[in-house]
Amino acid sequence: MDYKIIIDSCSDITPEMEEAMGIITVPIFLRLGQQEYADDANLNLPEFMEKMKACNEKVGTAAPTPESFAEVMKQDSFVVTLSAALSATYSNAMLAAKDALADIHIFDSKSASAGGTLVAIKLRELISSGLPKPQIIDSVNNFIDGMKTYLVLENFENLIKNGRLSAVKGKIASVLNIKLLLGADGKGEISLHAKARGTKQMLDKMIGFINNSGRSTTGENVVISHCNNQSLAEQLAGLIRQKFDFKEIFIIPTRGTSSLYADNKGIIVAF
């Protein structure tokens, strides 16, 4: 049976990929102070980014409601959500699935952005291979447990607005050209993995993360999401091609949710 794949809009994906992979996206809501925006096809992302930069209030997100998920759970589907430790998205999807008439299975990606995208790509490959549902579930759960996701921040404004980094520390980091390398901790939370001074050191550390991960690259995919940073994404992809044997590297612009947290020039890598 050809299951549909449902994701939330934290997973970065292009309209072309949505159509080709049979994916339905449920939008997350973006908040700039008292203003709220749906992270859907109608979001003017460049305009939103300008408003976000100008916003002096707290910025953040709100999970899709159970009703939003229920509307798209009309046929047998797999659902991939951003980490349950970071959002109510997973729990709201579970609530919707309880009353669904279709056969629904929900995966907590224990990640976000490129991580959710990578899980959706793996799901489509397994569905297309004709594996029975129990084997698909076991394979995806094992995949999630071994998956690595890293985030490189060049702009700290939103961390400051959320109270997670003082304005003084943020200014010092910017002046010193320090980049923060964050990553999923395997339990769905995000932790600081390293600091890098300058782009070259950041790229070296990112390649080191892949090299030391113990993760097989042969026949696998890697996703690089970027917020207005195509050139750096391609630079990183080039280094990855030189050193590893990934089957395919997907370079994808961030959608609204990932853009809010990665901020301008941010890069997210999942493998």
Domain ranges of the chain: 4-146, 149-270
Do 11 and 67 meet the contact criterion of CB atoms below 8 Å apart?
no
Query: Using CA atoms, how far apart are residues 46 and 127, in angstroms rounded to an integer?
Result: 35
Architecture of the CATH domain 149-270:
2-Layer Sandwich (3.30)
- Mapped onto helix, strand or coil, the DSSP state of residue 226 is strand
Instruction: Give, to the nearest 10 degrees, the angle between helix 230-243 and helix 199-211.
Output: 40
CATH of 4-146 given 3.40.50.880, 3.40.50.10170, 3.90.1140.10, 3.30.40.230: 3.40.50.10170
Report pLDDT digits (tens) over 93-126. 999 999 999 999 999 999 999 999 999 999 999 9
Torsion angle (degrees, nearest 10) of CA 151, 157, 163, 165: 60
The whole-angstrom separation of Cα 261 and Cα 264 is: 9
Higher pLDDT, 211 or 1: 211
DSSP lists the bridge partners of residue 35 as 32
d(CA 252, CA 157): 23
Q: What is the pTM of this model?
A: 0.92
pLDDT tens-digit series, residues 185-206? 777 777 888 888 889 999 999 9
pLDDT tens column, 8-60: 999 999 999 999 999 999 999 999 999 999 999 999 999 999 999 999 888 99
pLDDT per residue over 81-93, tens digit each? Answer: 999 999 999 999 9
